[in-house]
Structure 1
């Protein structure tokens, strides 16, 4: 028992771990909330696109020596705005437009970085995350931006859900669909940027999408999904950090592996939509046991 207590209390003795836990929990919560809208919309590709579209902004910030986060956020928001504008032509599907600008943004980032020799080491934290090396200022920045994101997401929650479920009905009801598209893209962009320090550019999509996908498997109710996704995200982040501390392994990678493990469990064991549950119900359906409707 004492060993378990020591294990749980051990990381909290270090200030850098306290900061890491704070950022991990905030990123997990925000990613869960925003990611739920992304999963409902069926546009998981936007998370990957945005995470790569911040690349040219980070590259330009590195070359001209100003804040990498600011550079990435500006680039991500500009790309998100471009996607929202070009997606209004319904001849092209949203994922097609996203793919065009994702590739263009990443190509621009490579070109910019080619002008700055010796950049790879400096951008390692951007690619793979550096949650154990964040400072007090980073914690405050993530906290303020995260709270702002949650407030905005809460303010337009019903409208975003309406657009996600039936875009044409939303237009007929007089909702500003284009403006809501921009809001959602902006929410995704800022969520990705503040999560880069936790898991890095390469793995950030998992933190944005996987907790929401788990919640989608566990419930059919949108309100419950919005509560489950941030809980799964935050819980997985904390668990991954504990494992990182205990095993001396990469924190970002372990956070992603933990949340992926949760997804596999949900995929197998979810009460209504899990694979094993569906297989147990199938023989009963075939035998007629589930055809009777209870009074």
Structure 2
């Protein structure tokens, strides 16, 4: 048993990968909790897909690709807000437009660059955590410290704004600055997670652990804490599955997080589909009553 746990740690690349996986599991769950309560999950997806043009341009200019990715992520959030405020377009539609246009631009730029420089697009899309360098571990740790410090310092303000934006504005809080700050934290988190799970799968790590915790505990700070634990468990378990079964690391991490979510969805003591306290007459569950009503409606046609 101990050999199974310790054998991967004998390799330096696995040590670095596990460290990055733990860091990413924590910050994604913490920041993603705010997205979940604001019903802005699509925003995380929009920002993650919007990184590609910045990656391509930074690579072409010989710059740090993380800097290019962050600039592109910030630009996408500004563009989403600008479209929403200056037109009758709803915010979710603006996110979809920016997501698709930035992603298409990134694919096009990478395709053009590949004519002269070989780029493995799969590493950007799905991550390649096994190839992290010591410098990338350092950058990810610095981003994590910055993100978590901001969350701790602004916890009450961000919590108020997330649950009641109008109330926060009436109380005199700088809601525009809080919104911008939260967008920057999301962009930083996505950039830090890019190497681990890639731009396509980062949304799952942002939302799934927090959503799982939401089914298990009642308070927001508990959701953040348990979500961080679940994110770490998913990341470490996914890395071990990747090592022993030769699976892609990013998808393996996301699959573990998804399995944990569906287990909580089915068996959560208070919210589980199969374990939720029964309501109505005869002790029938709400799900069973809906199935019977649907069957009765089909027979009456």
Both proteins in one fold, TM over 0.5:
yes
What is aligned with 1:293?
none
Q: TM-score, normalised by structure 2?
A: 0.89
The residue aligned with 1:16 is 13
Q: Deviations over 1:89-138 (max 9, x none)?
A: 69543212212222222232234234323466433311121111111111
SS of 1:281's equivalent?
coil
Match of 2:3 in 1: 6
> 1:286 aligned to 281, 285, 300, which one?
281
Greater CA drift, 161-170 or 248-257: 161-170
Equivalent position to 1:112, from 109, 112, 115: 109
Q: Normalised by the size of structure 1, how large is the TM-score?
A: 0.90
Larger mean Cα displacement after TM superposition, 72-81 or 45-54: 72-81
2:28 maps to 31
Displacement after TM superposition at 1:22 (Å): 0.4
Residues 215, 268 of structure 2: 8 Å contact kept: yes
Q: Residue 151 of structure 1: CA displacement?
A: 0.5
Alignment equivalent of 1:216, drawn from 210, 214, 217: 214
Greater Cα shift, 118-127 or 152-161: 118-127
Show CA shifts across 1:31-73 (max 9, x none).
0100001101110001110111111101112222322221111
In the alignment, structure 2 segments of 5+ residues that lack a partner are 285-301
2:181 corresponds in structure 1 to 183
- Comparing 99-108 with 219-228, greater Cα deviation is found at 99-108
* Aligned CA-pair RMSD: 1.9
1:199 is aligned, of 194, 197, 200, to 197
1:55 pairs with one of 43, 52, 55: 52
* Residue 243 (structure 2) aligns with: 245
Report the equivalent of 1:145.
143
Q: In structure 1, the residue corresponding to 2:247 is in which secondary structure?
A: coil
- Deviation, 1:29, is 0.3
Counterpart of 1:256? Answer: 254
- CA distance in 2 between partners of 1:73 and 1:190 (Å): 7
Number of corresponding residues: 283
Distance between the aligned counterparts of 2:109 and 2:283, measured in 1? 65
Distance, in Å, in 1 between the alignment partners of 2:8 and 2:227 is: 25
Structure 1's unaligned 5+ residue stretches are: 290-295
Superposition misfits of 4+ residues, deviation over 6 angstroms: none
Q: Which moved more, 1:120-129 or 1:235-244?
A: 120-129
Deviation at 1:173, TM superposition (A): 0.9
